[in-house]
Structures are given as structure tokens and as C-alpha cells.
Chain A
Amino acid sequence: MSGEQESGRAYWRANLRLVRNCLIVWALVSFGFGIVLRPLLSGIPVGGTDLGFWFAQQGSILVFLILIFYYAYRMNAIDRKFGVEER
């Protein structure tokens, strides 16, 4: 196997790892805190209701925003590290 192929695989693995981590957070804040795990957060009050309600109506959207920008920033750095960025 050539070095270039090896580097290509490592690049793709790094991408998949980053995507996987981001999607774990994505699922945790929406399906988790916003819906399924809401009863666990019911003890934490936020403005007249509980934290789960906040995640469902605001928190998840804010986390999605941070996730996309974090992904774009990290991914562009990974592109450069493996020398596959656009010139």
C-alpha cells in the first residue's frame, strides 16, 4: 500500500471520527435532553419550566449552530493537516 493511500484512509477516518462525535452531541441534546431524558432534567428549573423544555425549544438549536461551525473549523484544519485542502 502506498503512503498516499494510507494518508487518504487516515484522513477519512479522522473525518468519520469527528462526524461521529458531533452526531452524538446532536442526538443527545435533541432526542436526549429535549425528549427522552426530559424527566431526568425535570428537577432543574428554567424560567417557569424545566431544562428539558428549554433544550426542546431553544437549547438544541443553539447547540446545532455551535456544532456546525465547530465541524467546519475542525474539518478545514484536518484538510490542511493531510494536505487535501483546496488551493
Chain B
Amino acid sequence: MGQQALTYLIVGATFALYIGIAFWARAGSTGEFYTAGRGVHPVTNGMATAADWMSAASFISMAGLIAFVGYDNSTYLMGWTGGYVLLAMLLAPYLRKFGKFTVPEFIGDRFYSQTARLVGVICLIVISVTYVIGQMTGVGVTFARFLEVSTTTGLFIGSAVVFFYAVLGGMKGITYTQVAQYVVLITAYTIPAIFISLQLTGNPIPPLGLFSSTQEHGVPLLQRLDQVVTDLGFGAYTAHRDNTLNMVLFTMSLMIGTAGLPHVIIRFFTVPRVADARWSAGWALVFIALLYLTAPAVGAMARLNLIDTVWPGGAARPGGELVYEQRPDWMRTWEQTGLLRFVDRNNDGRIQYYNDRNPAFAQQAQQHGWQGNELTVNADILVLANPEIANLPAWVIALVAAGGLAAALSTAAGLLLAISSAISHDLIKSALKPDISERGELLAARISMAAAIVFATYLGLNPPGFAAQTVALAFGLAAATIFPVLMMGIFSKRINNTGAIAGMLVGLLFTVVYIFVYKGWFFIPGTNQLPDTPEYWVFGISPTSVGTIGAILNFAVAHVVSRATEAPPAAIQEMVESIRIPRGAGAAVDH
């Protein structure tokens, strides 16, 4: 069977599985639609949370981000896992005890203010919509590369599948599909990694292979990687080059941003008990760690493989370059996508791949007659091209396609649920039409879900040029608004409505303005006041790290304003007391 037929077969089989689950797990009530009836086992929820959280960015991009930068991008690894510690200890169990359906609902009830709830809804929608754009483009790209259909057709197929299980099943359908998607994506990620680790180091476990010696040279893999990248004029892989303060703040922003993402938080509303919410956060991190411990190994090994491929006669040795006409098939395939490009600057028919922006290296390059770097590799292709680089069988390549789609679709579904429940529950039920019946609200939830999917598909077809940059905005806002307000709502009885609203607004405005000053107002190119380079950042703090500062301002303003105004009513203080204690969680389910 050909590669194409096999890919269609495997992707088709996974889609059929997701649709089958949708029929089996239809939602019959709002409780099932919003929280899967709160009957999800903590391990099951952990697995669903892992798929919900690990997006196209984790699956496709993260290993590449680490591969081309090295140590300094460890921030992603620590940031995107450390958030679960905060979630488990500071938010998830208490919000589960509160026992309602949405994140803005907690904000509105705890701060006895419809305005606070509305600010919460706005933050949630901005965060989730920016996030969903990336997933939809990921679906389109994967289809276009592996199934040779147009990006548009791919996007329609993907949306149709999500439509089916998300509209029919709500949280219940999404939960069980996410479990299946997790299994698909983790298999697709680890199998190529195991093969590559075996080939390079002889160790079948990639995280151990990363710290082992290479079979060919007998020196530690990381030492050899440091050697070849510095030979080519790049910075050493394991070296620390970024500003330390910025690195700390960026990691912190990713951590508190992760803990403040609404689509992740609502997953913890689905478990039966408070104790389960605690265990479930641990299980989620177990399943996430399987990928996050593999990713740095994939990154380092892929970088080494790439350099060994283009410098078969030894890195930076004149005459050691790959002759362009003898390049392997996978390079030809990826050249067609434009994500891998070769320009023969010195017309010698050989590929000189090195760092031409390193002044210390320029003289050496000139002596060799090199006239600039000739190969550009988009970081996103590393994971997708991995099985081809390592010459793995066709079914592994098909599996990677199915895995990329599973990662993008599972996250998209979680985000769409967060958006639609905010619309049907926080806007329609709470603000516009409080007397709506249970059946009416369920219908409203399904219609908002359908509308959100159509909107997301439209954005996927016409991605705003700033799609990649908006990720900074999503994490910055989650860190600067949602995380602080939830934490203060639980851990302080003194924070009142005025304080919470003032804090959220200050955090929101500060973060958005700092990002826009460097990235352009509403990301319109050319409208930025200052260039987005380290020498112009205040204290070297990049716009992507500013969420931490926004969060600190949010905490400070909320405290000062609350102290200066009246304490919350006794009933609210009692409510805070009650969410701090697990007993009685069952009774709070129906409301």
C-alpha cells in the first residue's frame, strides 16, 4: 500500500473513532453538556486534560523551538508543566468545590458583581479565540502536507468532525474523544522518538538517550551537539545566553498563564469529588510529561541529525558539505512546501549551512569561499519530518499525521466548549434571559457551539497575519487577569468587588498596552512605538514575559483598592469559607 493510501486509512480510522464516540456519549442535560455530569474518573480526566492542553504548538512546534535555540528555550518545558502545580494547589480543588459551570460564573458570584463576570467573559473570549486560530491553521497545514488536499478542504473536514462530537456531546463527548486523541497523539509522538534515540544512542528511552553517548562517536550526545553547532558559528546548545531576569519572568508568565487558561480549568469541574480534582491534576501532568520529557530529546537529536545530514564530511569542514543534487528525499518533499529552502549563493552546488550572522565566524567563512548561509529550515517541520529523516516505515509517517490532527482537534474542542459555555451560560442565561428553561439553555449551548465552530473555521481560512504573535496575548491575559482574580477569590476574604474589577482592568490594560507598544496596536504592522528588540525592552523584559508584571500589578491594585473600600458582605465571606473545605461538594452540584 502506498504512503498516501496508508495515511488516508489511518487518519480516516481515527476520525471514524471520534464520531463513534460522539454517538455513544451524547449529552442529555446542561450538566452533561458543561461538565460531563461530573462523573469522569480522575485518571480519565487527567488524560483528557493532557489532550485538551497539548495543542498543535506542543505537538508540532515545541521540539523545534528547543532544537534551534537550546537551553534558553527550556522556559517552555518548565513553564508549560509548572503551571499544573499551581493549578493543583491553588485553583482546581476549590473551583471544583464551588461546583458551578464556568470560570466567569465563579468570578461573578465571588465578587457579587455582574460587571466582574462580564470582564471575565471578555478575557475568556479573547484568550480562547486567539488560541483557537492556531489550532485551525494547524489542522489545515497537516491536511495539506500529508493528505494532499487543499488547506480549505482539510479545514472543512476537521471542522465537520469537531462539529459532530462537540455539538452532540458537549463536555461529555469532548472528554471521551480527548481520551482517544491523547492515545493517538502520544503514540505518534513517541514512536519516531524511540527509533531515533535507538539509532543515535542505542538507548530506546528518548529522555535517557538525551544524556547518553552517541554510538558513532562515543562522546555524550549533548557534548557533540555543542561541538558541531559552535563549529558552525552558532551559540553552544547547552549555554545560557538570554537575559536571566527575562527568562525567569517568561517562565513565570507561562506557568501562571497555563493555570489561568479557562479551557483547562473547566476540565477539573468534571470529576466527582474535590479529592479527585487534586489527583486528576497529577495524572494530567503524568500524561503531559510523557510528551514533555520526550520533546527536548527529539529537539536535540533532530538538530544533530540535520547537521550530520547536511555536513556528511564533518561540520564546517570545507568539502564536507552535502552536494545539493545528492540530497535525501525528505528534503525534496519539504522544499515543495517552502518550509525548507536552499539558495546556492556561491554557485558551487553544495549546501553551506552555518551562522552567517556571527561576526567572529565571518573571516573563516570568507576563507572557505562561503557567501552566506544557504539553507533555511522552518522550526515547525522538525517533528513532522522526523520519521522521514530517520527513514521510518510509511505507517509511522501516517501516524504522525493523525497525531498532529488529534493534538489540534482536541485543543480546539476544549476551547470551543469554553467559548460556547461562556456565551450560553454567562451571557444568555445569566444576563439576557434568566428565566430560560433547562432545555432552552441546552439548545442555546449547542447553537453557540455551532456558531463558535463556524467562526473559528472562518478565522482558520482567513488567518489574521498576526496569528503567531497572539499566543503572547493569550498567555499574557490569562496570567495577568484570570489567574490572579481566581487565586485572590479563594485565598483572601477581604478582596471585594471594586478591588477585583480594578485589579483585572489594570492587569488587562497594562499587559495589552505593553504588548501593543512593541508588536503594533491590534498587531497592525508599523503601528508599534518601539522596535521589538531587547535593547528597547524595559529592563530587558520582552512583551511575551510581561504577563507576570501584569499579574503583580493586578494583585497589588486589588489589595490596595479593597483595603480602602468596604469588606465583602458576610454571605460572601461564608461562601469563601465553604469552598475551602471539601465536605459537601456533592450538594453543590445542582443549582
Contacts and interface: CB of A to CB of B under 8 A. Distances in A.
Contacts of A15: 580
Given A49-B222, A64-B84, A34 B278 contact: no
Given A47-B211, A56-B77, A72-B88, A61 B293 contact: yes
Contacts of A23: 85, 89
A35 B90 contact: no
B71 A8 contact: no
Nearest to A69: B282
Nearest to B273: A86
Given A48-B223, A58-B296, A84-B581, A65 B78 contact: no
Contact of B74 (A8, A48, A56, A76): A56
Given A34-B78, A35-B247, A47 B583 contact: no
A46 interface: yes
A8 B581 contact: yes
Given A26-B82, A64-B81, A84-B583, A35 B281 contact: no
B583 A68 contact: no
B248 A35 contact: yes
Contacts of A76: 275, 278
Contacts of A10: none
Interface in B279-299: 279, 281-282, 285-286, 289, 292-293, 296
A76 B239 CA distance: 42
A57 B69 CA distance: 13
Contact of A85 (B84, B220, B252, B275): B275
A83 to B, nearest CB: 8
A11 B84 CA distance: 23
Contact of B78 (A38, A47, A60, A71): A60
Number of chain A interface residues as a range: 35 or more
B547 interface: no
B30 interface: no
B104 interface: no
B244 A46 contact: no
Interface string A13-57: 001000100110010001100111010000000111110011011
Contact of A48 (B211, B248, B282, B580): B211
B278 A71 contact: yes
Contacts of A68: 84-85, 88-89, 278, 281-282, 285
B95 to A, nearest CB: 15
B212 interface: yes
Nearest to B208: A47
B251 interface: yes
Contact of A36 (B66, B244, B252, B285): B244
A54 B285 contact: no
Given A8-B577, A23-B89, A56-B77, A48 B84 contact: no
B64 to A, nearest CB: 15
B582 interface: yes
Nearest to B580: A12
B423 interface: no
Number of chain B interface residues as a range: 35 or more
A87 B582 CA distance: 10
Nearest to A59: B78
B275 A86 contact: yes
B211 A54 contact: yes
A85 B207 contact: no
Given A58-B296, A60-B78, A22 B85 contact: yes
Interface string B220-233: 11111010000000
Given A30-B251, A31-B248, A65 B289 contact: yes
A53 B237 CA distance: 10
Interface in B237-290: 238, 240, 244, 247-248, 251-252, 273-275, 278-279, 281-282, 285-286, 289
Nearest to A82: B581
B219 interface: yes
Q: Which of A8, A26, A68 has the most CB of B within 10 A?
A: A68
Interface in B72-107: 74, 77-78, 81-82, 84-85, 88-90, 93
B472 interface: no
Given A26-B82, A57-B74, A57-B77, A85 B583 contact: yes
B279 A72 contact: yes
A40 to B, nearest CB: 13
Contacts of A75: 93, 275, 278
A21 B247 CA distance: 24
Given A56-B71, A60-B78, A85 B282 contact: no
B210 interface: yes
Nearest to B274: A86
A70 to B, nearest CB: 9
Contacts of A84: 581-583
Given A11-B581, A85-B582, A86-B274, A19 B282 contact: no
Contacts of A64: 81-82, 84-85, 285
A27 to B, nearest CB: 9
Nearest to A42: B240
A39 B226 CA distance: 18
Interface of A: 8, 11-12, 15, 19, 22-23, 26, 30-31, 34-36, 38, 46-50, 53-54, 56-58, 60-62, 64-65, 67-69, 71-72, 75-76, 79, 84-87
25 contacts: A23-B89, A26-B82, A26-B85, A31-B248, A34-B74, A35-B247, A35-B251, A46-B211, A47-B210, A48-B220, A50-B238, A53-B74, A53-B222, A57-B66, A61-B78, A61-B81, A61-B293, A64-B82, A65-B289, A68-B281, A68-B285, A69-B279, A72-B88, A76-B278, A84-B582
Given A48-B211, A49-B220, A71-B89, 11 more contacts: A38-B240, A47-B210, A47-B211, A47-B221, A48-B213, A48-B226, A53-B238, A57-B210, A72-B279, A86-B273, A86-B585
